[in-house]
């Protein structure tokens, strides 16, 4: 079912009456509105395949290769799960995200999934340029509460994988309780990893409404210069872009095969 104007209006109704606060750093901003993710995928042509009366949401890509599950009643710490089935020589992959992962950061990951992949980027480039501290086993945020790690192959791990965790401040060598986590297995495409890490380490704040949940009490919140309607307009603009991108991709898939070279001598009147 495509994203309806009624659903967009419901998003607008909520955010238009909220007083937005600039909230930073992003890894402590809290979950935000899950519709940043689900609306984006619906605009890109993904369909809901879950029970409409269930709290669980399952979206499937048009080619049925990708499947996103959002389960706010999950018995584990992973509320978001994304699976890709293997196709031809391309392996399948799996990623999961905790409850308090900011929806806007996860949306950067899912938006990249719906777009043609760019050249393979270096996932560490944006992390270090954002001022995060590079370490032998990964990188950590300036406040040391978020850690990014690429665990290599070893006798304890049969596959290399990305592990991102945000934790409460610890004592000495002991880490505090976990706030949220993300796990991306070794086959997760590099451009998706890069999109997630770029959005996570972006220094610009995220907007949260007054009294809206954050990831930790140490998150800094200041009245935003943005008018509430600007938050709504930004969402509508993104949805419009994703819709146009999906239409363009469908046209490319249905475009007839290239005319053979020997047919180039056809008369101009025969052209369409």
Rounded CA separation 62/44 (Å): 9
- At 1, the pLDDT band (50, 70, 90 cuts) reads low
Whether the predicted pLDDT of 266 surpasses 70: no
Q: Where are the domains of the chain?
A: 1-8+18-107+175-250
Is the Cβ–Cβ distance between 100 and 30 less than 8 Å?
A: yes
In 3D space, the residue among 228, 204, 39, 194 whose CA is nearest the CA of residue 118 turns out to be 194
- The larger pLDDT score, comparing residue 69 to residue 116, is at 69
Across 233-244, b (16+ Cβ under 10 Å) vs e yields eebeebbeebbe
- In the predicted model, what is the mean pLDDT of the chain? 88
- The first and second tokens of residue 87, run together, are 């196709």
Across the range 172-183, mean pLDDT stands at: 87
How do residues 183-232 score in pLDDT, each as one tens digit? Answer: 999 899 989 999 999 999 999 999 999 889 999 999 999 999 989 899 89
| Mean pLDDT lowest among 17-21, 211-215, 230-234, 265-269 | 265-269
How do residues 180-195 score in pLDDT, each as one tens digit? Answer: 999 999 899 989 999 9
Tell me the whole-structure pTM to 2 decimals. Answer: 0.88
- The larger pLDDT score, comparing residue 33 to residue 257, is at 33
Q: How many helices (H) and strands (E) does the chain have?
A: 6, 13
Phi–psi pair at 155, nearest 5 degrees: -70, -15
Rounded CA separation 163/188 (Å): 12
- At 67, the pLDDT band (50, 70, 90 cuts) reads very high
Q: Judging by beta carbons within 10 Å of its beta carbon (0-12, 13-18, 19+), is residue 43 exposed, middle or buried?
A: buried
Across the range 238-251, mean pLDDT stands at: 88
Is the Cβ–Cβ distance between 223 and 24 less than 8 Å?
A: no
Rounded CA separation 95/93 (Å): 7
């Amino acid at each position: 079912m495509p994203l309806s104007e009624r659903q967009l209006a419901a998003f607008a109704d909520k955010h238009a009456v909220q007083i937005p606060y600039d909230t930073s750093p992003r890894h402590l901003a809290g979950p935000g509105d899950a519709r940043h993710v689900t609306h984006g995928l619906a605009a890109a042509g993904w369909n809901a395949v879950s029970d409409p009366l269930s709290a669980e949401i399952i979206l499937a890509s048009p080619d049925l290769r990708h499947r996103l599950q959002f389960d706010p009643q999950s018995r584990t710490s992973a509320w978001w799960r994304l699976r890709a089935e293997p196709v031809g020589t391309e392996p399948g992959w799996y990623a999961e995200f905790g409850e308090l992962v900011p929806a806007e950061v996860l949306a950067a990951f899912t938006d990249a999934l719906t777009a043609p992949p760019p050249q393979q980027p270096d996932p560490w480039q944006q992390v270090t340029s954002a001022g995060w501290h590079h370490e032998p086993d990964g990188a950590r945020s300036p406040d040391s509460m978020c850690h990014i790690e690429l665990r290599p192959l070893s006798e304890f791990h049969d596959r290399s994988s990305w592990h991102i965790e945000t934790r409460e401040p610890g004592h000495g060598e002991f880490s505090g309780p976990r706030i949220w986590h993300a796990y991306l297995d070794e086959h997760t495409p590099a451009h998706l990893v890069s999109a997630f890490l770029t959005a996570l380490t972006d220094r610009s704040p995220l907007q949260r409404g007054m009294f809206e949940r954050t990831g930790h009490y140490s998150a800094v919140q200041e009245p935003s210069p943005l008018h509430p309607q600007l938050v709504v307009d930004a969402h509508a603009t993104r949805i419009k872009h994703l819709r146009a991108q999906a239409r363009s991709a469908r046209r490319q898939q249905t475009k007839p095969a290239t005319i053979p070279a020997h047919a180039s001598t056809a008369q101009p009147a025969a052209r369409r």
